[in-house]
Structure 1
Amino acid sequence: MAQLSDSQLATISDHPIGDALNSFRTTFKSAHPHISVRVGLDRFEQLVTEPAHPTAAFLRSRIRLTPLRSDLALLYAGLSSNETNFTYTAQLLRDVVAEKDDPTIWATVYDLIRQTQPAPASATLPTVPTRPGPETPPKSTTFTPIASQVKQTPIVSKTGGYIATTETRTEIDPILKFEVEQNLIVDHPGVFDAFFGRVAQLSDVAAAVFDACKAVPAPMYIDSVGWTDWPQDCNQADVLGFLRHHIDKFMSLASDHGFRPAQRRRCVTAPDQPLEGSTAKRKLDVGIARGEPEHEEVPCHWSHILVPGELKSNWREDNHNDTRLDISRYAREVFHAQDTRRFVLGFTLCGSLMRLWEFDRLGVLASKSFDINSEGHMFVSVILGYLWMSEEELGFDPTIMEDNGEKYMEIERGEGVERIYIKHMMRQRSIAGRATTCWTGYVKGKPGNELVIKDSWQYEEYPEEGLLLKEAAEPRVDDPTKLKVENVAQYYHHETVCIGDAIDDVRESIRRGLDDAEGRNPVRQRRSTAPSATTSAVTSSNSGLRSGRGGNSSRGGSRGRGRSKSRGGGVSRKRSSSNVDGLMQPPQKPKRSCSDLPAEEDVARRNRVHRRVMTCGVGKELWEASSLQAMLTGLLGAVKGHESLFNAGILHRDISIGNVLLNKTEDDGFLIDLDLAIKTDRQKASGAPNRTGTKVFMAIGALHGEDHSFMHDLESFFWLLFWICTHWNGVEKRQV
């Protein structure tokens, strides 16, 4: 058994597990000895998550530079994806059920982590040298941290901060899974009203179409049976055919009653064909896309997908880990391919159980599931809702418009309104998080005046980047001909985006005030009652489950398009036919990804606000330099910019490959992105639940939880240089 140090024993004593495992013991004992592998995994989800807060936040991993709870997250990801055999948990299960003391349980946890997670080469902890010698980088012990008495905002990483020359599911999926599960609300009763209640005429058209579906002599739907042509074996090909036929039929019946959508859309059903526009090859089971219905077989791009869908043949897969991960992968691709998307709607269909999903920059929101055969009217309302929704109701940003194929936005600056034409430049690939998007652009009538426009979704508590840039652009007191800060992106404009007269945020503008407490997080087990092992809302496929009928809610009505205004300046199972129960097999050597998962966020959910910043001048990435000398010139310019910021009382805190640019003439460089910057004289932390960053460039001390100082940023410049040496292979050559 693993030996615990005195400091670990003290931490365990200060943070006892208490009664956090009582629910697990009760439900596990009630299921034993007839427990299946899948039920065991769902129970183990409780075992991992219940004691993981707060004790595992203070205990350190023995194989990577993170808290122990990151190891627990990796362990659960391995079990969920079948990469780690469940029998490794046997000793931990015995200790917990036997109510062993806390030190015994945590020692067993350390043994379990050691057995299932070999230390990645890139994250091996440093050993103590046998004789005195230099360390690289040196420990940060000779300087005074900035705001050393101020509690620092904790660091987490998400899929948007992943840096690699390639992207594979093996690398991304564990991080995406954790990102989703820590920002997940399911079984929320208000999802339909919040997102479908806005759709004009939906109640009327759904009622007319559903009545027509029940009309004799050849009804499509019978109350006591359901849909007459529903494939009982739920074979994927048959279900896809069912959806195609019914979508076309619903459109035809709506047209017969005088209802026509503003835009034509088609059903995409090519589950074996990867869609274009993805770094990792991603396939989509089914989706609603732009285009005419007769163009169904035309190759599709992720930028065309309006509503992604995931199919499973077994109703037991509803709200299962793999199902959630599959639909989340699709949403992440849609976000990346569509630069003006504020949120994404989707659905899962497991057997005849349908669930509605919404993805935004706070995370994932899901409705209760419903049976499309017992809730035919609801099914009709959902399908017609997706076909009738405006682009704003589907999640597109109405403050970005088009003029002869060119995208533009309008801002209030000075005494008038300026039109800014934009071209897509870069978007962070993530779901929850800042979701930074950058465009290049110019002011109408001034094509030579190049701008960089940056959109991001910031926690309300964060200081506004635009205000820091505006302060940096002020003239120096001793020399008004020079700016206070040099070698930093030059301020042009900033604003909090508004739609109509309301601030664009997640809680109110997107989710329409839905309360998280009305749903639940199945991973964190927020509710005191234990959920079912397979699905949260269903006990059988013909249980007569009920959900709210379609129609316009009191929130209904489409919000008007408005100009933005300034405020203050593993491997999934596809359509499986049964839920396989079986005995545990002998453990095999686990397959582990070297990806490092973030620590769990605070349970408290916060709000994110849509902010926009514009700066003058366009640079280029360091790897686009024409020579090694030019690349190093850009890096040196950014170091000068960091020093200039620091002298002005601003600490950057996010030095990475994307935030250091080279100017077009390649004779200087500059620093961008003050999202995580702080005033060095601040008296308290922002109050945001976490801050993200690019881990490969972070200082070791910062990763260990040291208060962030300018020395940590300088160390990040070292890691940036190291990254350049590793990946840059010469001018116009492929990266290593």
Structure 2
Amino acid sequence: MDNLLASQPPLDVDDEEIINNVGDRIHDTDERYIFPEDRVRHLAATFIQHRRLESPRLTSAEAFISWFEHFTEEQLEDTQHQWHSSRTDDDILLLMTQRVECHQSHDGEAWQRVQIIGHILCNESIDHEDGLVRLCSSALQVFMAQPTRLYLTGLYLRASRLEVVVFDRSGMYSAMSFDLADTSRLLELLVSFRSMTDRDLGRSVVIQTDVHGSFITSGDSEKLYLEDRTIAQSDELVGEGTTCYRGRFTDSDPWDHVVKFKWPLTSSRPENELLRLAARRGVEGLIKLRHYQAFDRTSTLRQGYHNGPYRRIVRGSQPGSNNGVDDTTVPTDEPFEDRILTCVVTNPAGRPLRTFADPTELLIVFRDAVKAHRSLFQVGKILHRDISAQNIIIVDHTPWRGYLIDLDVAIDLSNGPTTTDNIAGTRPFMSIGILKKRRHTYRHDLESFLHVFLWVVICNGSANPPQTSRLHRWSKGTWEESAAMKLDDMREENFHIYLDEFPPRFTHFKQVAEAMRGILFPAHNGQLWTGTDGSSAVTNQIYEGIIAAIQRAIDEEVSSDTLG
């Protein structure tokens, strides 16, 4: 069994992030749930009888891996799958992949072919939870390489207990658990995998491949090809798992579409509805919907099982104990989150805000993005609610340069203001009012524009701020602590701290930032006011004031370039 992953780069996600993402989205074993299904078990039984296979006698992880390596090479060599292993001092990673010829295999594609993962803990002093985190980390690698995967089976062997767990975008659940002494179940399980189809193993057919590359099929059955690399991807296992590619219809076309795969909650309003609504109402500066399709729900994939309240991991299982998921989790009151795989195709594609060519382009893009927000809010009667550095794009060769994208959490205001107090947005760019859990208003979005402006200028073309930047404070602490820090930072006497971080080529941008701060945070009785005046007169005054401040800076830039 070769070391398939020798050249694969590690994930930039630590154990704590994985626990925070998966640790409270777990379901224990449901005795009614049969795994594998009867059809596959019957095929396995026939294979075992035909080959006259005998159940092994195993008592430890080391004994299992020694037997397993010989078994897969001698008995499963003629299947469409092959097994690989990667050993460290403490554990062994197992991967079952689609079998490919040597000339078809390329570095960097290993996780794209994975069908089953497994972790064998050889060091029993490692507790159950830490080993489970390693399994979750491998699952995340698979889902990031296969963004439309429906679910993934994982094997977890610690001491003499083998657990079969299943991962999907709603969480993780225990499918079965047994002791290695139950050798007939072990043999049946491993042989069952050879008879499973891609669909049985959780691989979807949303993305297909031909000689020209990977593609999806749009509503009129036309192939839309995907660029090899993603342009945006979230590094979460449980949740929306948003992944975006550029797309085009033929080889001669530019990559002018964006194909977004995600798993939103089934209870949320589909993004396509709001995009269609915005287009119908004549909104400017917003991406256009070209295709939408919804696929599988996690509740359906779970066949009606494992859909009650979640359980969460409790730390501190005894080293050397034979505990499993059922023993190391406790019930919570959190209800099951049903999610659905969707594909949204939009255009234009654009490029990230941080790729601005020069200061003038950044100002123009920013001005147009604020104008787009005004059109969305006042003409479209839609509130965006997630203004961030990632949700403003630069579109070349068009009169309108700054576009808004992503209406995932937007709301239609045509039926009156929303009463929800759910926090929505991207943490560093959230307004003070939203951090205080107030009802979301247009002014909160405009405040987010100020935070984005400061962020993009200080980052100066990078994705993240300098190590010493005060911007890092925006992602730390509780919601209340973050609100208090931002309120303090926005005071006139403290705001210069951010302006002092502006790179030299953006020195003249300070007047734009100061103007925006003054418009958004007027002083009321000596206090910084963070409320919203929703009257038409004040609303127009705020929009026009911000746009005018940016336009003045553009005019100065153009004049300076002309004189220079």
TM (norm. structure 1) is 0.54
Question: Which of 382, 387, 399 is the matching residue for 2:206?
Answer: 399
Indicate conservation of the 8 Å contact 1:343/1:395, yes or no. Answer: yes
* 1:512 partnered with 2:303: yes
Indicate conservation of the 8 Å contact 1:266/1:293, yes or no. Answer: no
Tell me by how many angstroms 1:378 deviates: 2.1
Indicate conservation of the 8 Å contact 1:356/1:369, yes or no. Answer: yes
Question: Which of 368, 374, 392 is the matching residue for 1:637?
Answer: 368
Deviation track 1:78-135 (CA, whole Å, cap 9, x = no partner) reads: xxxxxxxxxxxxxxxxxxxxxxxxxxxxxxxxxxxxxxxxxxxxxxxxxxxxxxxxxx
Change (3 A) 1:347 1:405: farther
Question: Which of 333, 338, 357 is the matching residue for 1:607?
Answer: 338
Change (3 A) 1:378 1:210: farther
Tell me by how many angstroms 1:489 deviates: 0.6
Indicate conservation of the 8 Å contact 1:210/1:377, yes or no. Answer: no
Alpha-carbon distance in structure 2 between the residues aligned to 1:533 and 1:685: 51
* 1:521 partnered with 2:361: no
Question: Which of 60, 85, 110 is the matching residue for 1:269?
Answer: 85
Tell me by how many angstroms 1:336 deviates: 0.9
Tell me by how many angstroms 1:337 deviates: 1.6
Change (3 A) 1:286 1:422: same
Tell me by how many angstroms 1:641 deviates: 1.4
- The equivalences for 1:164-179 within 5 A come to 168-169=12-13, 172-179=14-21
Alpha-carbon distance in structure 2 between the residues aligned to 1:316 and 1:192: 32
Alpha-carbon distance in structure 1 between the residues aligned to 2:49 and 2:233: 41
Alpha-carbon distance in structure 1 between the residues aligned to 2:413 and 2:332: 25
Indicate conservation of the 8 Å contact 2:294/2:341, yes or no. Answer: yes
Indicate conservation of the 8 Å contact 2:246/2:258, yes or no. Answer: yes
Question: Which of 450, 457, 463 is the matching residue for 2:256?
Answer: 450
Residue 205 of structure 1 aligns to which amino acid in structure 2?
A
- The equivalences for 1:68-87 within 5 A come to none
**Counterpart for residue 234 of structure 1:** 61
Alpha-carbon distance in structure 2 between the residues aligned to 1:628 and 1:681: 37
- The equivalences for 1:145-224 within 5 A come to 168-169=12-13, 172-190=14-32, 192-193=34-35, 196-197=36-37, 201-209=40-48, 212=51, 220-221=54-55
Alpha-carbon distance in structure 2 between the residues aligned to 1:724 and 1:397: 38
Residue 397 of structure 1 aligns to which amino acid in structure 2?
S
Deviation track 1:122-161 (CA, whole Å, cap 9, x = no partner) reads: xxxxxxxxxxxxxxxxxxxxxxxxxxxxxxxxxxxxxxxx
Structure 1 spans left out of the alignment, 5+ residues: 1-165, 215-219, 222-226, 253-259, 274-282, 477-483, 498-503, 526-531, 540-599
* 1:697 partnered with 2:437: no
SS at match of 2:65: helix
Tell me by how many angstroms 1:608 deviates: 1.2
Change (3 A) 1:173 1:728: farther
**Counterpart for residue 486 of structure 1:** 284
Tell me by how many angstroms 1:620 deviates: 0.4
Residue 467 of structure 1 aligns to which amino acid in structure 2?
E
Indicate conservation of the 8 Å contact 2:148/2:341, yes or no. Answer: no
Alpha-carbon distance in structure 1 between the residues aligned to 2:238 and 2:67: 33
**Counterpart for residue 658 of structure 1:** 390
SS at match of 1:330: helix
**Counterpart for residue 191 of structure 2:** 384
SS at match of 2:133: helix
Alpha-carbon distance in structure 1 between the residues aligned to 2:353 and 2:37: 48
* 1:409 partnered with 2:216: yes
Deviation track 1:61-92 (CA, whole Å, cap 9, x = no partner) reads: xxxxxxxxxxxxxxxxxxxxxxxxxxxxxxxx
SS at match of 1:322: helix
Question: Which of 152, 156, 169 is the matching residue for 1:344?
Answer: 152
- The equivalences for 1:217-616 within 5 A come to 220-221=54-55, 227-228=56-57, 230=58, 232=59, 234-235=61-62, 239-251=64-76, 261=79, 263=80, 265-272=81-88, 285-291=93-99, 301-313=110-122, 320-374=128-182, 376-412=183-219, 416-424=220-228, 425=230, 426-443=232-249, 447-448=253-254, 450-474=256-280, 484-497=282-295, 504-508=296-300, 510-517=301-308, 521-523=311-313, 535-536=323-324, 603-616=334-347
**Counterpart for residue 7 of structure 2:** none
**Counterpart for residue 723 of structure 1:** 455
Alpha-carbon distance in structure 2 between the residues aligned to 1:691 and 1:382: 44
Indicate conservation of the 8 Å contact 2:173/2:306, yes or no. Answer: no
**Counterpart for residue 674 of structure 1:** 407
SS at match of 1:433: coil
TM (norm. structure 2) is 0.69
Indicate conservation of the 8 Å contact 1:633/1:666, yes or no. Answer: no
Tell me by how many angstroms 1:629 deviates: 2.7
Alpha-carbon distance in structure 2 between the residues aligned to 1:307 and 1:686: 44
**Counterpart for residue 41 of structure 1:** none
Deviation track 1:411-452 (CA, whole Å, cap 9, x = no partner) reads: 33xxx4333222242332211111112222223598358321
Alpha-carbon distance in structure 2 between the residues aligned to 1:520 and 1:213: 42
SS at match of 1:473: helix
Residue 298 of structure 2 aligns to which amino acid in structure 1?
V
SS at match of 2:61: coil
Tell me by how many angstroms 1:734 deviates: 11
Alpha-carbon distance in structure 2 between the residues aligned to 1:429 and 1:683: 35
Change (3 A) 1:486 1:437: same
Change (3 A) 1:366 1:537: closer
Alpha-carbon RMSD = 3.8
SS at match of 1:326: helix
SS at match of 1:516: coil
Deviation track 1:481-529 (CA, whole Å, cap 9, x = no partner) reads: xxx11111122222323xxxxxx11101x21221434x9725489xxxx
Tell me by how many angstroms 1:179 deviates: 1.8
Change (3 A) 1:683 1:711: closer
SS at match of 1:269: strand
**Counterpart for residue 356 of structure 2:** 625
Indicate conservation of the 8 Å contact 1:418/1:443, yes or no. Answer: yes
Alpha-carbon distance in structure 2 between the residues aligned to 1:707 and 1:533: 49
Percent of counterpart pairs with the same letter? Answer: 23
Indicate conservation of the 8 Å contact 1:462/1:686, yes or no. Answer: no
Alpha-carbon distance in structure 1 between the residues aligned to 2:195 and 2:50: 18
